[in-house]
């Protein structure tokens, strides 16, 4: 069974930075694309970023491009999301995700994505 545990959320002022971490267990981490999603109050969960298994290919939602950076350390079974220049609209619960079968980083952004989810970590950006 795949388990994903996020950490690193918190309260930050607009313009500030946070780094989220997600530790994965239960399968060969290095063989799978990993991603981050978020859900704001009253809204549907949305794709944020994904990184391919080979640590070379990344894909971002337009709303975070240039501000967020996804990375991974396969030796630690960990994926990170560095968030800079945070805005109040970035507020929400951030979820780490892993696909149930091999897929691409871009494919994780599709509404058809199915996979495993962490419990989420709250990010609040004050204005």
Rounded to whole angstroms, the Cα distance separating 61 from 70 reads 12
The model's confidence at residue 94, banded by pLDDT at 50, 70 and 90, is very high
Q: State the average pLDDT over residues 44-63.
A: 91
- Report the percent of the chain where pLDDT is more than 70: 99
Phi, psi dihedrals of residue 101, rounded to the nearest 5°: -145, 160
The model's confidence at residue 99, banded by pLDDT at 50, 70 and 90, is very high
Q: State the average pLDDT over residues 62-77.
A: 95
Q: State the average pLDDT over residues 89-96.
A: 98
Mean pLDDT, the chain, rounded, equals 94
């Amino acid at each position: 069974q795949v388990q994903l545990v996020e950490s690193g959320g918190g309260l930050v002022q607009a313009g500030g930075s946070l780094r989220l971490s997600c530790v994965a267990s239960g399968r060969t981490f290095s063989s799978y694309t990993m991603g981050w999603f978020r859900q704001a109050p009253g809204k549907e969960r949305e794709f944020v970023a994904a990184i391919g298994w080979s640590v070379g290919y990344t894909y971002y939602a337009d709303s975070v491009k240039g501000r967020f950076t996804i990375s991974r350390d396969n030796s630690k079974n960990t994926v990170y999301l560095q968030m800079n220049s945070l805005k109040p609209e970035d507020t929400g619960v951030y979820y780490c995700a892993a696909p149930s079968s091999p897929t691409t980083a871009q494919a994780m952004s599709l509404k058809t994505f199915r996979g495993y989810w962490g419990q989420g970590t709250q990010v609040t950006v004050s204005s």
